[in-house]
């Protein structure tokens, strides 16, 4: 992807976010402060529609150039539209979790079938279907403080873009550009939230990209568990703890490690810390790209063990701070 094309997509996302903010203010489409919210003033939502618009432009251009891979790109684009539409509607009037999950699963299934039918690699196609559904929901769970979800998506997408050639790489760079265009409206304090339309779309695109990256290097595919590790560990362990406690795990909450940490130190330091973790993970991917399978497995295990340790430490400190207040 050329620098000019990347900058054009970033500018499109920035302009779209500005328009989305005006639309949200005119429609009183606002997130009010509350017990499960991390902000203190009513804030417009739905800015992620600009990320979707930029991604759709990129997807359509790449679809026209896809050649034999056009079924995969067509299914990808259709799935992105489906996930974005249900998220956009949910941002306006809440939909049931079951309906949203069905749409997410349908979008993931469509992409998985196209990927399997085109490549013949049905095991990877199955992983794509499951991974997309998981990441759509994880990015939604983790979209709770300023700039966190967009910055993480930009970093992970850039890592995939640097590793993959051709259409998949261009798609990854397009996502990084769209996120960078959105971020000025989320820093240093959010003037608009991306909403479900944005977080769902990010999870969908990243799920597809990470599986394609893993497919490109099957003997070292586990490396691609490293870039999204901050989100996977925080979301996964928090969900597991809620299940073990017998809580209604499917309901909204503010128990993630990043949420408690942000209440203690503010949004900016937490977003920067998570970004630093992800940059380090990407550097390790690059360092291990020629390593043996066994060494990669040991390294990934050690990385996730360290992430789990830090998650537990953060949760303990969050709980201590909560008791003091």
Q: In the structure, what pLDDT confidence band is assigned to residue 231 with cuts at 50, 70 and 90? A: very high
C-alpha–C-alpha distance, residues 122 and 140, integer Å? 27
Range 205-222 average pLDDT: 93
| Rounded Cα distance, 88 and 271, in Å | 25
pLDDT digits (tens, 9 = 90+) for 125-157: 999 999 999 999 999 999 989 999 999 999 999
CA-nearest of 108, 303, 305, 10 to 1 is: 10
Rounded to whole angstroms, how far apart are CA atoms 150 and 273? 14
Query: Distances from the Cα of 152 to the Cαs of 53, 216, 227, in angstroms?
Result: 19, 22, 9
Q: Mean pLDDT over residues 243-272, rounded?
A: 91
pLDDT of 176 above 90: yes
Confidence of residue 37 (pLDDT cuts 50, 70, 90): low
Count the residues in the chain.
325
The pTM assigned to this predicted structure is 0.95
Q: Classify 31 as helix, strand or coil.
A: strand
Residue 201: the pLDDT is 98
Instruction: Kindly report the average pLDDT of the chain as a whole number.
Output: 94
Burial 29-59 (b: 16+ CB within 10 A, else e): bebeeeeebbbeeebbbbbbbbbbbbbbbbb
Give residue-wise pLDDT tens across range 293-322: 999 999 999 999 999 999 999 999 999 988
Rounded mean pLDDT, 9-35: 92
> For 267-292, how does the pLDDT look when each residue is reduced to its tens digit (9 = 90+)?
999 999 999 999 999 999 999 988 99
Residue 131: helix, strand or coil by DSSP? Answer: helix
Using DSSP bridges, classify how beta strands 43-44 and 30-31 pair: parallel, antiparallel or unpaired: antiparallel
Q: Helix H segments across the chain?
A: 3-26, 48-64, 70-92, 97-119, 122-142, 148-163, 166-182, 195-216, 229-244, 257-265, 267-287, 293-324
What are the CB-based long-range contacts (under 8 Å, 24+) for 297-305? 297/222, 300/222, 300/223, 300/225, 300/226, 303/226, 303/229, 304/225, 304/229, 304/233
Can you tell me which residue has the tokens 């309906």?
A: 99
Q: Please state, in angstroms and rounded to a whole number, the distance separating the CA atoms of residues 207 and 230.
A: 15
């Amino acid at each position: 992807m050329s620098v000019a094309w990347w900058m054009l997509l970033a500018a499109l996302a920035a302009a779209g976010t500005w328009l989305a903010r005006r639309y949200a203010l005119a429609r009183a489409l606002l997130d009010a402060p509350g017990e499960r919210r991390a902000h203190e003033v009513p804030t417009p939502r739905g800015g992620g529609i600009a990320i979707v618009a930029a991604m759709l432009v990129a997807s359509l251009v790449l679809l026209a150039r896809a050649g034999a891979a056009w079924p995969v790109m067509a299914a990808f684009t259709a799935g992105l539209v489906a996930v974005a539409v249900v998220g956009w509607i949910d941002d306006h009037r809440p939909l049931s979790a079951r309906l949203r999950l069905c749409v997410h699963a349908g979008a993931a299934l469509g992409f998985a079938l196209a990927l399997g039918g085109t490549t013949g690699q049905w095991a990877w196609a199955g992983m794509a279907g499951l991974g997309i559904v998981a990441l759509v929901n994880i990015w939604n769970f983790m979209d709770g403080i300023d700039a966190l979800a967009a910055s993480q998506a930009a970093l992970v997408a850039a890592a995939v873009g640097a590793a993959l050639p051709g259409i998949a790489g261009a798609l990854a760079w397009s996502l990084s550009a769209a996120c960078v265009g959105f971020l000025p409206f989320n820093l240093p304090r959010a003037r608009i939230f991306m909403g479900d339309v944005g977080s769902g779309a990010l999870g969908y695109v990243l799920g597809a990209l990470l599986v394609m990256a893993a497919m490109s290097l099957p003997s070292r595919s586990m490396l691609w568990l490293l870039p999204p590790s901050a989100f996977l560990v925080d979301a996964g362990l928090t969900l597991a703890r809620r299940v073990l406690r017998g809580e209604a795990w499917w309901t909204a909450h503010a128990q993630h490690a990043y949420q408690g940490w942000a209440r203690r130190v503010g949004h900016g330091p937490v977003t920067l810390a998570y970004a630093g973790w992800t940059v380090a993970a990407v550097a390790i991917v690059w360092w291990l790209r020629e390593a043996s399978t066994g060494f990669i497995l040991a390294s990934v295990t050690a990385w996730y063990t360290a992430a789990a340790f830090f998650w537990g430490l953060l949760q303990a400190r969050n709980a201590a701070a909560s008791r003091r207040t």
